[in-house]
Chain A
Amino acid sequence: MSGSDLILLSLVLPLVGAVGIAAASRIGANARETVTLATAGALAWTVWKLVPELIQGGRPSLFLAEVLPGIDIAFSVEPLGMLFAALASSLWIVNSIYSIGYMRGNKEANQTRFYIFFAIALAAAIGIAFADNLFTLFLFYEILTLSTYPLVAHKGDAKTVRSARVYLGVLLTTSIGLLLPAIIWTYLVAGTGTFTPGGILEGKLTGPAVGLLLGLFVFGVGKAAVMPVHRWLPAAMVAPTPVSALLHAVAVVKAGVFTVTKVIVYIFGIDFLFAEPSSSWLVYVAAFTIIAASVVALRQQNLKRLLAYSTVAQLSYVVMATAILKPLAEVGAAVHMVAHAFGKITLFFAAGAIYTATKKTELHQLRGIGRRMPWTMTAFTIGALSMIGVPPTGGFVSKWYILAGAFEANNYVAIATIIVSTALNAAYFLPIIFMAWSFEKNAPPANEHGEAPFAVVLALMITAALTLMFFFFNGPVLELEGQLVKAGS
C-alpha cells in the first residue's frame, strides 16, 4: 500500500469504526467493544506502517480536494505529525481497554454514543496530525472540538452541561476569534498556508506584525491551554475519566501544542522568528503559565482538577520549548509531547481506577490507598515521577533536551522556569505519593474495596511501563524528530 493510501485509510478507518460501533451496539456490548478495539488496532497498524517511509526521508502525501482557489484539503506526513498520530492511535488501543473496564465498572449510560464520538475524535486528531496546510488543520481542529463536546457533556446533568459550555465556549471563541483571522491573514500575506520547511512568512511580514500574528496563533489555539485561555481544561474534567485520559491528556491538548509547534516551525520558521524581537514574549507567557498553573495545582483538593492544572503547566513546557527557537529545544518539545502523554495518561488512568473502585475523588481520601490498590498506586507513582522528571522515567529525557536547548539559546528565563516548576511539581505530587503509601494502623479504611476491574489495571500498567521504557528506548523518536530540525534549518 502506498503512503497516500495509508493516509486515506487512517482518516477513514475511525469513521468506519464509528459506523461499525453503532451497528454492533444492536448486537450487544461485547460486539461493540470488539469493534472499538479492532478499529483502534487497525488504525495504529495503519499509522505505524507509514513510519519506515518517513525514516528514509519520504514524505507521503495525499491531495483530497481544492475547496477555494489555492486552498486545498491536503495531507502530508512529516516527523512531528507522525509522532502525534502514532501517539494518539497507539494510546487509543490502551485507552479502549481501559474504557471497557471503566464504563462498565461505573455503569455509565449512553456508552454507544461515547464510543462513537471517541472514534470521530480520533479521526479528527489524525486529520490534524497529517494536515498539509493551515486550512485542513483548522477544519479538523474544529471537528475535534465539536466531536469531544458530547463526551465532555456525557453525564448530561446541569453541572456537566455548564462545564461543557465553558469547554465549547473557550475553544470555539479562541479558534473563530483568533485562529481563523490568523490563518486568513497568513494566506493573504504569504499567498499560501502550506506547511513548508523553513517557514513561509520570511520576507512577507516584518516588525511587530510578526509578534501579533504569533499571538493570534498561540492564543487562537486554545487547545494548547496557554494562560489565559486554559479555563476549558479544568472544566473538561467533568467528562468520564477515559475522555480525560486520552483526549485531555493526549489527543486534544497535544493537538493544541502540536499546532503551535507546527506553526512556529513550518509557517514562521524558527530562524526567522528567532531573529524577530517582537516574538520573544512567547517564552515569558509560557513560563508564566507553567509557574502559575503549578501554583494553582498546589491548591487543588480534587485529584482530576489537580491533574488538569498539571497538564496546563506541562503543555506550556512544550510551548516554551518551541519558543526557545533552537533545534535541541524543538526536539525537546516533540519528545515532551510523548513523555508527558505516557505519564499523564497513566495518572488519569489511576485517578479513574480509584474512582471506579472507591468513588473517591478528593486528595484527603487517598490516605493509605496504596495498600488496597498496589498496582494502581505503583503506576500513579511512576507517572508522578515522570511529571517531576526523575530518572528513570520519560519525563527526564524531555527535560534534558529542553534544558539543553535553553542553554544553547542562553535563555535564562526558561532555565529558571524549569527549575522552579520542577520543585513545584514535586511539591504537589510527592505528598500524594507519601500519603497513598503511608500505612497507619489506626486509620481504618472508610469502606472495603480492592483493585479496580482487570481491564483498568491492565491499561494503566501498560502505560506505566511505557513511561519507564521511554527513558531507555527513545532513540527512534529522537532520530525521527532530528529530521524536523534538519528540515527546519
Chain B
Amino acid sequence: MTSLAHHLPALQVIVPMLSAPLVMLLKPSGLARAAATVASLFAFSIAIAMTIGVLDGNTYTYRMGSWPAPYGIELSVDHFSALLLLIITGASSFALLAGRRSVDADIDASRQPLFYTAWLLALAGLSGVPVAADAFNIFVFMEISSLASYVIIAGGSDRRALPAVFKYLIMGTIGATFYLIGIGLIYLMTGTLNLADMELRIHEVADQKPILVAAGFITIGLALKAAVFPLHVWLPNSYTYAPHAVTVFLAACATKVSLYLLLRFDFFVFQGNLAGHDVQFAYFLMPLAVLAILIASGVALFEQNVKRLLAYSSVAQIGYIMLGASFVTVAGLTASTVHFFNHALAKGALFLAVGCLATQCTGLRLSDLGGVAKRMPWTAAAFVAAGFSLIGIPGTTGFISKWYLITAALEQGSLGVALVAVLVISSLMALVYIWRVVEAIYFGEPTTDLSAVREAPLAMLAVTWTAVLANLYFGLVPEVPVTLASAAAETLLEHLP
C-alpha cells in the first residue's frame, strides 16, 4: 500500500468533516453547493478506492496518532464497511448532483451554505460509523449524523417537517441513549471500548447478566434508529416532508448505517460469547421482519402520497434485510447485505424520479400526478424502471436480492417455505403499490392544467437515469456487490463459535 492509500479510512471522514465549516463560509449559495458536491464526490472516490483495495484483498486498519489498538482510536475498513461507505457517499453525491432545484425551491439562498454544512456533517457522521472500530467513536459519529440529519430534514420550507423531525429527534435520542447505556455496561464489565478487544474480553467476564442487559439495550436502541418495525414510526413523515434531495440521501443510507451496526455488534461481540444468542437473535428479528414486510407493504398499498408510499416501502425493505440476517447462515447474510446495496440503488433512483416529478407538479399525491407521463416521458420511464427493481423483475438489482433471499429461505426447510410465501406476497404488494403510481402518471386524469409541465431539467434527468441504469447494470453484472456481500457474510459468521 502506498502511503496515501494507508490514510484512506481517516480521509473518508476527515474530508467531509473539514469541508463542512469551509462550506459555511462560502457566501454565494452556488459556490457552497459546488464545494459540498466536490467534497461529496471526493468522499465517493475514496470509498471506491477502498472498495477496489478491499476487493484486491487488502484490509485497512488505521491507528489515529499511531497509538496501538485497544488504547488508541482505531479505524478499520473491511468488505462490509466498504459496501456501506459506497452506499453512503454514492447516495450523497447523487442527491447533491440532482438536488439543486429541490434545494433552491425549499431553502433561502442565504441559508443554503448552512444547509450544505449540515449535509456534509451528516455525511461525515454516517461515514464515520462504518469506519470506526470502537464503540464510543461509533456513538459519537452516530450522534453527529443524527443531529445533522434533523437539521437537513427540517431545513425545508414545509412546516410539517417540524413535528416529523421532532418525533425523529425524540426517538433517535432514546435509541442513542439506549446504545450508550449498553456500551457503558460493557465498558464496566470489560474495561474496553474497542470492538475486537471487547469480543475477546467478554469471555473473561464471570457474571454474564450485565452483558445480556447490554445486548438488549444495544439491540433495541439500534433497532429504533434503524426503523425496525414497530419502531419505525418516526420514518414515514420525516422522509415525506424533508426536501426531496434530503430524502434521496437519507432514504438510501441512514437506516442502513444503524442496521449495519446492529449486525456488526451482534455478530462480532455477542453471538460468540452469549450462549444461545444466535437463536435469540433469530427469534427476535424474524417475526419483526415478517411483520415489517407485510404490514408496511400493506400500508403502502393505500397510501396516496408518493413519498410516504415509498417511505413505507422502505420500512418493508428493512424487513427484507432483517429477514436475511435472522437466518444466521451465509446465504441469508449474503442476501441481507447485498440488499443493503440493491435497495439503496432502487429506492435512491425512485426518490430521484420523485424529485424530478416534484419540479413540475403541484403536489405529490397520486391525484396530482394524473397523466404527467405524457409531458415528462423520461421521468416517468425512470420511475417505472426503478420500480421494476423494487419489485424484483429479473435484470434489475432487486431480482438479485430476491434470488438470494428465496434461496436462503428455502434452505430453512418447512419454515422457509412459509417465508418464501411472505416474500412472494410482499413482492406482489410492491407490484401493486408501484403500479398504482404508474397507472396514475400514465393513465390518470389530469386534475390541473398540464400545459405548463415540462420535462425535468436535464441535469436531474441525467443523474436519475444514471441511477436507473446502475440498477440494470448491477442486476445483470452483480459481481461487485455480491462479492462484497458474501465476504461480509463470511466475516460476520467467522465470529460465531
Binding site for B on A (CB under 8 A): 65, 67-68, 71, 73, 135, 138-139, 142-143, 146, 153, 156, 158, 161, 165, 168-169, 172-173, 176-177, 180-181, 184-185, 187-188
Contact = CB atoms under 8 A, between A and B. Distances in A.
Contact of B439 (A143, A165, A184): A165
Nearest to A66: B479
Contact of A65 (B388, B391, B477, B482): B477
A139 B439 contact: no
B282 interface: no
Interface of B: 388, 391-395, 400, 402-403, 406-407, 410-411, 420, 424-425, 427-428, 431, 435, 439, 442-443, 476-478, 482
Contacts of B482: 68
Given A139-B394, A156-B443, A176 B435 contact: no
Contact of A67 (B391, B427, B478): B478
9 contacts: A67-B400, A67-B476, A68-B482, A172-B431, A173-B431, A177-B425, A177-B428, A180-B402, A188-B407
Contacts of A156: 442-443
Nearest to A187: B407
B388 A146 contact: yes
Contact of B393 (A142, A158, A165, A181): A142
B314 to A, nearest CB: 20
A80 to B, nearest CB: 22
Contact of A73 (B393, B428, B439, B476): B476
B410 A184 contact: yes
A238 to B, nearest CB: 13
Nearest to B394: A139
Contacts of B403: 68, 71, 184
Nearest to B410: A188
Which residue among A67, A142, A153, A168 has the maximum number of chain B CB atoms within 10 Å of its CB? Answer: A67
Nearest to A153: B443
Which residue among B394, B395, B428, B435 has the maximum number of chain A CB atoms within 10 Å of its CB? Answer: B394
Contacts of B442: 153, 156
B395 A180 contact: no
A82 B380 CA distance: 37
B67 to A, nearest CB: 42
Contacts of B391: 172, 176
B390 to A, nearest CB: 13
Contacts of B439: 161, 165
B444 to A, nearest CB: 9
A165 B411 CA distance: 34
A135 B399 CA distance: 11
Given A68-B403, A173-B431, 5 more contacts: A68-B478, A142-B393, A172-B391, A181-B420, A185-B410
A181 B406 contact: yes
Contacts of A185: 410
Q: Is the interface of A mostly helix, strand, loop or mixed?
A: helix
A430 B151 CA distance: 76
Contacts of B393: 142, 146
A71 B477 CA distance: 11
Contacts of B476: 65, 67, 73
Nearest to A69: B482
A188 B410 CA distance: 8
Given A65-B477, A173-B428, A188-B407, A161 B443 contact: yes
Nearest to B423: A181
Contacts of B425: 177
A151 to B, nearest CB: 14
Contacts of B400: 67-68
A68 B397 CA distance: 12
A251 B208 CA distance: 66
Closest 10 interchain pairs by CB?
A: A139-B394, A177-B424, A161-B443, A184-B406, A176-B427, A142-B394, A142-B393, A156-B443, A181-B420, A139-B395
A138 B427 CA distance: 16
A142 B395 contact: yes
A184 B439 CA distance: 31
Contacts of A176: 391-392, 424, 427-428, 431
Nearest to B444: A161
Contacts of B402: 180
A15 to B, nearest CB: 14
Nearest to A143: B395
A168 B435 contact: yes
A169 B434 CA distance: 12
A83 B400 CA distance: 31
B435 A165 contact: yes
A481 B319 CA distance: 48
A325 B394 CA distance: 31
B5 to A, nearest CB: 29
A376 to B, nearest CB: 33
Contacts of B477: 65, 67
B490 to A, nearest CB: 14
A76 B407 CA distance: 26
Contacts of A177: 424-425, 427-428
A309 to B, nearest CB: 26
A143 B424 CA distance: 19
A177 to B, nearest CB: 5
Nearest to A177: B424
Contacts of A65: 476-477
A264 B407 CA distance: 23
Contacts of B435: 165, 168
Contacts of A165: 435, 439
Contacts of A188: 407, 410-411
Contacts of A139: 394-395
Nearest to B482: A68
A187 B404 CA distance: 12
A177 B431 CA distance: 12
A189 to B, nearest CB: 9
A176 B392 CA distance: 9
Contacts of B407: 184, 187-188
A318 B394 CA distance: 27
Contacts of A180: 402, 406, 424
Which residue among A138, A161, A177 has the maximum number of chain B CB atoms within 10 Å of its CB? Answer: A177
Contacts of A168: 435
Which residue among A73, A153, A180 has the maximum number of chain B CB atoms within 10 Å of its CB? Answer: A180
A357 B443 CA distance: 29
Contacts of A181: 406, 410, 420, 424
A169 B439 CA distance: 13
Contacts of A158: 443
Contacts of B443: 153, 156, 158, 161
A169 to B, nearest CB: 8
B406 A172 contact: no
A177 B417 CA distance: 12
A138 B392 CA distance: 12
A228 B411 CA distance: 30
A309 B318 CA distance: 43
B330 to A, nearest CB: 13
A65 B478 CA distance: 11
A329 B353 CA distance: 52
B382 to A, nearest CB: 15
A281 to B, nearest CB: 20
A180 B388 CA distance: 15
Nearest to B407: A184
A443 B400 CA distance: 63
A172 B428 contact: yes
Contacts of B406: 180-181, 184
Which residue among A143, A173, A176, A184 has the maximum number of chain B CB atoms within 10 Å of its CB? Answer: A176
B275 to A, nearest CB: 32
Nearest to B445: A158
B98 to A, nearest CB: 26
Nearest to A157: B443
A168 B387 CA distance: 14
B320 to A, nearest CB: 14
A143 B385 CA distance: 12
